[in-house]
């Protein structure tokens, strides 16, 4: 028996406003406290204009940094604001520096188009809503590195994903979140809009002197007492079992026993082929298409079998180095291919790009040409080793002796992990596939909402989360790819 493992994505729909101009509200009042991060949320982007954003920028948005560099993330409905011919960027830079006595001669900035922005303020069903809008973070020039986009390789992949990474560090640990950007082909003809910019001082303010497309950007922000909240809308459909055999990203055999009493093998898809149709029938899933994820853990991961919360179980596993992989295909087949499962092999750490050749400081990018003179190498995808039955070039997703359990995606539920409104927050997630709740026409969501001290973004594709874990008494970095619709990672500073 075979089963379908597919995922569809439907854009969320929101009630439209009858307002002609937005009413700006603040999520909380920080007084004169410096706000390095600001987010503007709207569900009616057609009713706002650049002045609505510019007039509500806090006067202290940049004053804590020497040589501040603004990062701007906008959703597709506002992507035209990033066009050099649009007055928004010029007025935004001018606004940031209008109260500064010692204006630098050169200013750098980063701008990108993202898919959505999550609600980071509500602790109810409203926290699931996904907005249009803009999010801004100000960092010092020394805290950002970038890499120019290379020319398209002949015969190379049609879509080479850029890397946007935010690393949040405190005194003892570092967390990093990598974000896949929005596809803007139907907006401006570019697969991704990801720009590094240089502005020079003039009598009237600042003038855009140069702009380059980026391949990578790594931003580092220093905080105190980081607290992380991870929301993973998953439900278990199989038992936790030992991996017996596999190669690369292909699982071949799992243990029949789920208590470790025996290593007698069975085809990897056996239990999933039985339990997945049962789950679909019990929950009346009409189109019978579901997405499945595998949680891969080391044998020494500690699991509380009495815990009633799948969320707590998953969070604890990730903090011990567990990794989630989408099941790409599997089930059915015969002979050597009977019962195989193929897992998404992508687990790269979002911070590994900091070691890439070409990651440089801001001023270095504009001192030299971004395009290398030497010809690009043949893409690894076209090397003979990755075609056919040879899997030796793929990294090992699950080793013999590891433990694995399968989950299906469920509708996300409201998060209540945030308690301190004054704390700085970094909120990232994956766009949900479910439709948004109907919103009353007099609801605050109809208005432009300013959320101070928050930097936030969502991707329709995936985010990557890296966090410190202890292995054999040593702190190491553990990363996982998160592409579960509705998942969230929130880093909050200032927690005791």
Mind spelling out the 3-state secondary structure of the chain?
A: CECCECCCCCCCCCCCCCCCCCCCEECCCCCCCCCCEEEEEECCHHHCCHHHHHCCCCCCCCCCCCCEEEEEEECHHHHHHHCCCCHHHHHHHHHHHCCCCCCCCEEEEEEEECCEEECCCCCCHHHHCEEEEEEEEEEEHHHEEEEECCCCCCCCCCCCCCEEEEEEECCCCEEEEEECCCCEHHHHCECCCEEEEEEEEECCEEEEEEEEEEEEEEEEEECCCCEEEEECCEEECCCCEEEEEEECCEEEEEECCCCCCCCCEEECCHHHHHHHHHHHHHCCCCCCCECEEEEEECCCCCCCCCCCCHHHHHHHHHHCCCEEEEEEEEECCCHHHCCCEEECCCCCCCCHHHHCCCCECHHHHHHCCCCCCCCCCCCHHHCHHHCCCCCCCCCCCCCCCCEEEEEEECCCCCCCCCCCCCCCEEEEEECCCCCCCCCCCCCHHHCCEEEECEEEEEECCCEEEEEEEEECCEEEEEEEEECCCCCEEEEECCCC
Cα separation, 467 vs 93, in Å, equals 33
Shared domain for 271 and 305, answered yes or no, is yes
Among 379, 409, 439, the domain boundary falls at: 409
Whether 8 maps to a domain, the answer reads no
Contact 374, 262 (CB under 8 A): no
Among 409, 443, 459, the domain boundary falls at: 409
317-329 b/e with 16+ CB inside 10 Å = b?
A: bbbbbbbbbbbee
Residue 65 has a pLDDT of 53
Contact 241, 402 (CB under 8 A): no
Shared domain for 216 and 198, answered yes or no, is yes
Which tokens hold the place of 74?
């906008």
Whether 4 maps to a domain, the answer reads no
For residue 120, which of 489, 495, 433 has the smallest C-alpha distance? 489
Q: Pairing mode, if any, of strands 68-74 and 106-113?
A: parallel
Work out whether the CA dihedral 354, 356, 357, 363 comes out positive or negative: negative
* Domain housing 254: 234-349+391-409
Which tokens hold the place of 381?
């995808």
Residue by residue, pLDDT tens for the chain (496 residues) are: 445 454 334 333 222 332 333 445 554 433 333 458 999 999 999 999 999 999 999 876 655 556 789 999 999 999 999 998 889 999 999 888 876 667 788 999 999 999 999 987 655 444 568 999 999 999 988 889 988 887 655 444 444 678 899 999 887 788 999 999 999 999 999 999 999 999 999 888 899 999 999 998 999 988 888 889 999 999 999 999 999 999 999 999 999 998 888 899 999 999 999 999 999 999 888 777 789 999 999 988 877 666 668 999 999 999 999 999 999 988 666 556 778 999 999 876 665 555 555 688 888 888 755 443 333 333 332 233 332 334 444 578 999 999 999 999 998 876 655 556 668 899 999 999 765 444 444 444 457 999 999 999 999 999 999 998 877 677 788 899 999 999 999 999 875 4
Among 361, 382, 409, the domain boundary falls at: 409
Residue 465 has a pLDDT of 94
Shared domain for 30 and 116, answered yes or no, is yes
Task: Tell me the β-bridge partners of 454.
Answer: 425
Residue 95 has a pLDDT of 87
Residue 385 has a pLDDT of 31
Shared domain for 460 and 397, answered yes or no, is no
Shared domain for 44 and 163, answered yes or no, is yes
Residue 364 has a pLDDT of 85
Shared domain for 341 and 456, answered yes or no, is no
Shared domain for 50 and 168, answered yes or no, is yes
Using the structure block, give the residue that is written with the tokens 């109810």. 124
Shared domain for 212 and 241, answered yes or no, is no
Residue 366 has a pLDDT of 85
Bin 271: left if φ > 0, else alpha if -120 < ψ < 50, else beta: alpha
Whether 187 maps to a domain, the answer reads yes
Whether 418 maps to a domain, the answer reads yes
Shared domain for 301 and 433, answered yes or no, is no
Whether 439 maps to a domain, the answer reads yes
Whether 403 maps to a domain, the answer reads yes
Residue 413 has a pLDDT of 78
Residue 349 has a pLDDT of 60
Per the structure, the count of domains in the chain is 2
Work out whether the CA dihedral 251, 255, 260, 262 comes out positive or negative: negative
Residue 26 has a pLDDT of 56
Cα separation, 387 vs 381, in Å, equals 8
Contact 411, 187 (CB under 8 A): no
Shared domain for 152 and 93, answered yes or no, is yes
Whether 384 maps to a domain, the answer reads no
Shared domain for 110 and 148, answered yes or no, is yes
Rg of the chain over Cα atoms, rounded to whole angstroms, equals: 24
Shared domain for 189 and 249, answered yes or no, is no
Contact 167, 220 (CB under 8 A): yes
Question: Where does residue 334 rank: exposed (0-12), middle (13-18), buried (19+ CB within 10 A)?
Answer: exposed
Which tokens hold the place of 353?
């790009």
Whether 169 maps to a domain, the answer reads yes
Work out whether the CA dihedral 486, 437, 29, 22 comes out positive or negative: positive
């Amino acid at each position: 028996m075979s089963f379908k493992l597919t995922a569809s994505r439907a854009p969320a729909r929101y009630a439209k406003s009858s307002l002609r101009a937005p009413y700006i509200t603040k999520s909380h009042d920080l007084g004169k406290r410096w706000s390095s991060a600001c987010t503007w949320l709207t569900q009616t982007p057609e009713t706002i204009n650049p002045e609505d954003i510019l007039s509500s920028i806090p006067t202290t948005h940049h004053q804590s940094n020497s040589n501040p560099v603004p990062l701007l993330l906008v959703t597709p409905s506002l992507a035209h604001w990033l066009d050099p011919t649009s007055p928004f960027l010029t007025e935004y830079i001018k606004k940031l520096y209008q109260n500064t006595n010692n204006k630098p001669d050169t200013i750098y900035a980063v701008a990108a188009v993202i898919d959505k922005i999550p609600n980071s303020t509500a602790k109810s069903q409203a926290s699931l809503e996904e907005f249009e809008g803009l999010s801004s973070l100000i960092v010092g020039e020394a805290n950002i590195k970038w890499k120019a986009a290379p020319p398209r390789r002949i015969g190379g992949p049609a879509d080479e994903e850029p890397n946007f990474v935010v690393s949040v560090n405190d005194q003892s640990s570092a967390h990093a979140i990598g974000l896949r950007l929005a596809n803007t082909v139907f907006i401006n003809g570019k697969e991704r809009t990801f720009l590094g910019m240089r502005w020079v001082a003039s009598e009237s303010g600042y003038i855009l002197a140069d702009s380059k497309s980026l391949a990578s950007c790594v931003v580092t922000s220093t905080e105190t007492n980081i607290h992380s909240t991870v929301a993973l809308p998953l439900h278990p459909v199989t038992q936790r079992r030992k991996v017996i055999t596999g190669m690369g990203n292909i699982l071949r055999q799992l243990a029949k026993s789920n208590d470790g009493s025996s290593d007698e093998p069975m085809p990897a898809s056996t239990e999933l082929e039985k339990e997945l149709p049962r789950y679909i029938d019990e929950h009346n899933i009409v189109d019978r298409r579901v997405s499945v994820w595998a949680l891969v853990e080391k044998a020494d991961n500690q699991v509380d079998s009495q815990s009633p919360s799948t969320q707590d179980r998953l969070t604890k596993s990730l903090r011990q180095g567990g990794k989630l992989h989408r099941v790409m295909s599997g089930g059915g087949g015969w002979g050597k291919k009977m019962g195989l499962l193929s897992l998404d092999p992508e687990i790269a750490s979002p911070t590994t790009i900091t070691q890439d050749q070409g990651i440089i400081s801001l001023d270095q990018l504009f001192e030299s040409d971004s395009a290398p003179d030497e010809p690009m190498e043949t893409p690894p995808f076209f090397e003979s080793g990755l075609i056919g039955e040879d899997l030796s070039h793929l990294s090992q997703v699950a080793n013999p002796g590891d433990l694995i359990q399968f989950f299906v995606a469920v509708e996300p539920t409201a998060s209540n992990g945030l308690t301190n409104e004054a704390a700085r927050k970094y909120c990232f997630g994956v766009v949900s596939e479910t439709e948004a709740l109907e919103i009353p026409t007099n609801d605050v969501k109809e208005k432009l909402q300013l959320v101070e001290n928050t930097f936030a973004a969502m991707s329709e594709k995936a985010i990557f989360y890296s966090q410190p874990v202890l292995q054999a008494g040593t702190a190491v970095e553990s990363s996982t790819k998160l592409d579960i619709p509705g998942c969230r990672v929130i880093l909050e500073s200032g927690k005791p």
